[in-house]
Amino acid sequence: MRIEQLQRVLIVGSGTMGQQIALRCAMHGYDVVLYDIAPDALPAAVAQVKAYAAQLVAAGRLAHQESDAALVRITATSDAAQAAAGADLLSESVPEDPKLKAAVFAQFNELCPPHTVFTTNSSSLVPSMLAEATARPAQFAALHFHQYVWDSNVVDIMPHPGTSPQTVNLLLAFARRIGQIPILCEKESYGYVFNAMLNALNRAAVSLAARGVASVEDIDRAWMGVMKTSVGPFGILDVVGLETAWDITTYWAKALSDPELQANADFLKGYIDRGRLGVKNGRGFYTYPDPAYARPGFLSGDN
């Protein structure tokens, strides 16, 4: 398939990343189907996509007409066969569970046309872990986005040993068509490029908090004060989502039998159990839309 033939994008998983990828693709002229196995999740997902578009319009980054045209290109469904019909590219954004992802790819392999290219937006797994389940390994690779897709517009493209050069070239062209900076990984590596660096920071930050070395706020102050950034690791984790962070931490704690990671997972679970999920529900390590770290005086501890 040539890039000119790619017209319809299927997003599997209507969570935060699925919503953002859907809007980004629609903004650049692609017809998009947003699929979720849970019908009840779709109205909220569509509402959030519209909210993202409204924010971009309010910021002067998207014209009203462009927003309206993009939103018309997005349809949402919980009918897997309907979602798969005519799909040229599938982008998977379901929870970080390799068994779940494998089941999703096996299901859609039966439903999608033979030419459909499959991609995973997994933030921690490598594509060879899922390639067999797709039953189309030559047409499969990781295409990993970052939040928010229109701001952190870098996408990792990671093939596995069986990915065809044609698939890699198609994904490079597609990434550029939707305004992303493609980072081609020459070999498989957990965490890709940016996330490999970010995960090391997050692990250290959560470990410090879990062991009671310093408060969440002071750990963020340390990073922000030295690195001169507007947000620290716990503010970043709120954007990522505490459930996603817990999924990833729990998986690797078990896979590596790592007691430090298990303690970190338990620390995150404590927040989740209190309904603190991050930016998506307004309560994580901080409260939103006015987090303490964004207020004057945070670094000095005056607020």
For residues 149 and 242, membership in a common domain is answered with no
Write phi, then psi, for 113 (nearest 5 degrees): -60, 155
- Residues 179, 213, single domain; the answer is no
pLDDT on residue 94 = 95
Instruction: Say whether both 20 and 119 belong to one domain.
Output: yes
Q: What is the pLDDT of residue 303?
A: 63
Question: What CATH number is attached to the domain comprising 18?
Answer: 3.40.50.720
Q: How many structural domains comprise the chain?
A: 2
pLDDT of residue 40: 96
For every one of its 303 residues, what pLDDT tens digit does the chain have, with 9 covering 90 and above? 899 999 999 999 999 999 999 999 999 999 999 999 999 999 999 999 999 999 999 999 999 999 999 999 999 999 999 999 999 999 999 998 999 999 999 999 999 999 999 999 998 899 999 999 999 999 999 999 998 999 999 999 999 999 999 999 999 999 999 999 999 999 999 989 999 999 999 999 999 999 999 999 999 999 999 999 999 999 999 998 999 999 989 999 999 999 999 999 999 999 999 999 999 999 999 999 999 999 999 998 876
The span from the CA of 293 to the CA of 224, in Å, is 9
- pTM for this entry: 0.85
Kindly state whether residues 48 and 111 are assigned to the same domain. Answer: yes
Crossing angle for the helix pair 216-227 and 194-210, to the nearest 10 degrees: 140
* Among 216, 245, 285, CA closest to 147: 245
Q: Which of 43, 58, 50 is nearest to 26 (CA)?
A: 50
**Is position 297 within any domain?**
no
- Looking at residue 187, what is its pLDDT? 95
In this structure, are 145 and 78 located in the same domain?
A: yes
Residue-range definition of the domain harbouring residue 251:
194-292
Quote the CA–CA distance of 168 and 157 in Å, as a whole number.
8
Do 82 and 36 touch, CB atoms closer than 8 A? no
Across 265-279, b (16+ Cβ under 10 Å) vs e yields bebbeebbeeebbbb
Instruction: Verify that 141 and 206 share a domain, yes or no.
Output: no
